[in-house]
Amino acid sequence: MSVISLNVPTTQPNCDTKLQASTWVKLRELPSPYSYDEALLLCQTEDCSWIAWIPEYGEIRLSPQQLMGF
């Protein structure tokens, strides 16, 4: 039996916990001139960005800096 060692970082980024999945947020900039100005947060990633869905655009990865008020 062999043991596999994974190099996993011991510290996680300090993500903002004010945001939650299934929340609508306003965007600072539109990804497309035809998209809505709001996004539905789907899930947070390990690097503190969010996978979100924007009507008339689709899925997108957003950093907290791209969200109004954060």
pLDDT at position 31 over 70: yes
Domain boundaries along the sequence of the chain: 24-66
Residue with tokens 């993500």: 15
pLDDT at position 61 over 60: yes
The DSSP result for 1-56, as a single string, is ---PPP---S------SS--TT-EEEBSS-SSTTS-SEEEEEEE-TTS-EEEEETT
What's the CA gap between 23 and 52, in Å, rounded?
Answer: 10
SS3 assignment, position 29: coil
What does the pLDDT read at residue 18?
85
